[in-house]
Amino acid sequence: MTNLKHLKKIGVLTSGGDAPGMNAAIRAVVRTAIFRKLEAVGIYRGYEGLIQKQFTEMKTHSVSKIISRGGTILKSSRCLEFKEKAYREIAVNNMREEGIDALVVIGGDGSFRGADALYREFDFPVVGIPGTIDNDIYGTDYTIGFDTAVNTAMEAVDKLRDTADSHNLVFFVEVMGRDAGFIGLYTSIATGAEATLIPEVHTDINKLCAYLDHERRKNKTSGIIIVAEGDNMGNANEIAAKVSEKLPDYETRVTTLGHIQRGGSPTCNDRVLASILGNRAVEALLEGKSGVMVGQVNGQTTYTPFQEACTRHNEINKLWYEIAHILSL
Ligand code: ADP
Ligand code: F6P
């Protein structure tokens, strides 16, 4: 294996929305780096910490027992300053002063836009790991955190179903996904929801009401409607209000699952994915790869240029959307 001669110290940060499994990825990056006789430096609060030089030396024990913890021990942030080149220059100078010669960024597509700028403008070696519950990143079948988030949403909807059935209610359950319907679609299939409203499919209030009415006439006494937060008709409260207006006999309730979906102990799938990608990210840097996101497609490690990972989107399977509908009949 060819080792980059100057590669001695690797930095790692988490950026954007936190996701369960980020800690497992940090652990894998730190331990692989140490295994490869490199030093590892943790950067607090994402790009904010790069600008403010909030660095911490990471040893093997620094990442002990974090594999089962949600959130991120390095903390995360949304850092507007980083969108300006002048601040990115400060960040690069801070890393160079500290002797950090390569960086691993764990985050979503916004974080990769920042990482790409570091790579292009300053030729700084940087590799990304997809960490977001939204699963909307091109170049990987799954992002770290998605599996945990959908399991959390599924368990919550199962509980709501009990109350919906007991009181003959129609529940509108809002799940996360500002631009992507993965959480909505998976949760819907897994809970047998009566309808799925996601950003990728245009929703029509009249069609939705006609469908609900049809279901009621078939003696369905309760229902679950999953609403992704990015749906074209609005949020779950707004949609429930419109339905109540058109179908006044319906008793509706709204539950927004919100940030509950972002927390909690990661599932086995997320821990394994994060561990493998964390290891592969360090190996990629050692092989001289840069400006790419490591992902997993059909079980194989893939390297997708940031430009592609940022501009393209992971598409939902429209057939799965139809199946969700068929199975809820
Ligand atoms: P995510 O990574 O989960 O998509 P954000 O979209 O909030 O989350 O992006 C995380 C951070 O990445 C932002 O707060 C900002 O610091 C940085 N970032 C996002 N877009 C850009 C950009 N175009 N140029 C430079 N940095 C960016
Ligand atoms: O990127 C994940 C995500 O959970 C989106 O689905 C959601 O719209 C957004 O983050 C909310 O994040 P915050 O409350 O941190 O702004």
43: CATH: 3.40.50.450
pLDDT the model gives residue 329: 79
Measure 87 CA to ligand 1 centroid, in angstroms: 13
Share of the chain above pLDDT 70, in %: 98
Last residue within a domain, chosen from 203, 238, 262: 262
- pLDDT at residue 1, as a whole number: 41
Q: What residues contact residue 178 under an 8 Å CB cut-off, 6+ apart?
A: 134, 199, 229, 230
Distance separating alpha carbons of residues 167 and 12, to the nearest angstrom: 50
The string of pLDDT tens digits covering residues 232-255 is 899 999 999 999 999 988 899 999
Q: Is residue 329 part of a domain?
A: no
Same domain, 179 and 281: no
Q: Which residue has the higher pLDDT, 211 or 37?
A: 37
pLDDT in tens, 190-228: 999 999 999 999 989 999 999 888 877 777 888 999 999
Q: How far apart are CA 137 and CA 148, in angstroms?
A: 17
Closest approach atom of ligand 1 to CA 132? 3
24 and 120 inside one domain: yes
Specify if 81 maps to a domain: yes
Residue 45's pLDDT band, with cuts at 50, 70 and 90, is very high
Least distant ligand from the CA of 137:
1
Question: Ligand 1 pocket test: which of 83, 84, 262 has the largest number of ligand atoms within 8 Å of its C-beta?
Answer: 83
Residue 107 CB less than 6 A away from ligand 1? yes
| Band of pLDDT at residue 5, cut at 50, 70 and 90 | very low
Q: Please indicate, yes or no, whether residues 104 and 37 belong to a single structural domain of this protein.
A: yes
Cα(13)–Cα(116) distance, rounded to whole angstroms?
15
Does 42 share its domain with 138? yes
Domain membership of residue 189 (yes or no) is yes
- Co-location of 20 and 114 in the same domain: yes
Q: The domain that contains 209 carries what CATH number?
A: 3.40.50.460
Instruction: Report the alpha-carbon distance of residue 72 to residue 15 in Å, rounded.
Output: 10
Question: Per-residue confidence at 3, pLDDT binned at 50, 70, 90?
Answer: very low
Position 281 in a domain = yes
Per residue in 261-311, pLDDT (tens digit) is: 999 999 999 999 999 999 999 999 999 999 999 999 999 999 999 999 999
Residue 2 scores a pLDDT above 50: no
Residue among 101, 109, 134, 147 flagged as catalytic:
134
Quote the pLDDT of residue 221. Answer: 83
Whole-model pTM above 0.85?
yes
Q: Which ligand is nearest to the CA of 230?
A: 2
Q: Which atom of ligand 2 is nearest to the CA of 261?
A: 4
Distance CA 328, CA 325 (A): 5
**Both 275 and 153 in a single domain?**
no
Residue nearest to atom 1 of ligand 2 (CA): 17
State whether 228 and 80 are in the same domain: no
Which one of 76, 109, 175, 178 would you pick to mutate in the ligand 2 pocket, going by the greatest count of ligand atoms within 8 A of its CB?
178
**pLDDT in the model for residue 291:** 98
Full strand arrangement of the beta sheet holding 9-14? 55-58, 39-43, 9-14, 102-107, 126-130, 292-297, 300-305
Which of 227, 262, 297 lies at the terminal end of a domain, its last residue?
262
Within this chain, do residues 18 and 137 fall inside the same structural domain, yes or no? yes
Tell me if 208 is assigned to some domain: yes
Q: Is 317 inside a domain boundary?
A: no
Determine, yes or no, domain membership for 28. Answer: yes
Residues 160, 134 share a domain: no
Does residue 46 sit in the same domain as residue 179?
Answer: no
CA 109 – CA 174 distance, rounded (Å): 23
The per-residue pLDDT for 93 is 98
pLDDT tens per residue across span 63-99: 999 999 999 999 999 999 999 999 999 999 999 999 9
Q: How many domains does the chain have?
A: 2
How much distance in Å is there from the Cα of 172 to the middle of ligand 1?
Answer: 31
Confidence of residue 42 (pLDDT cuts 50, 70, 90): very high
Instruction: Give the mean pLDDT of the chain.
Output: 95
Distance CA 320, CA 291 (A): 33
In a domain, 111, yes or no: yes
Residues of the chain above pLDDT 90, percent: 90
Range of the structural domain that residue 120 is part of: 9-145+266-311
116 is catalytic: no
Residue 228 and residue 298 in one domain: no
Q: Are residues 138 and 286 in the same domain?
A: yes
User: Considering 229, 262, 295, which residue would you say is the last residue of a domain?
Assistant: 262
Q: Tokens 């060819």: give the residue.
A: 2
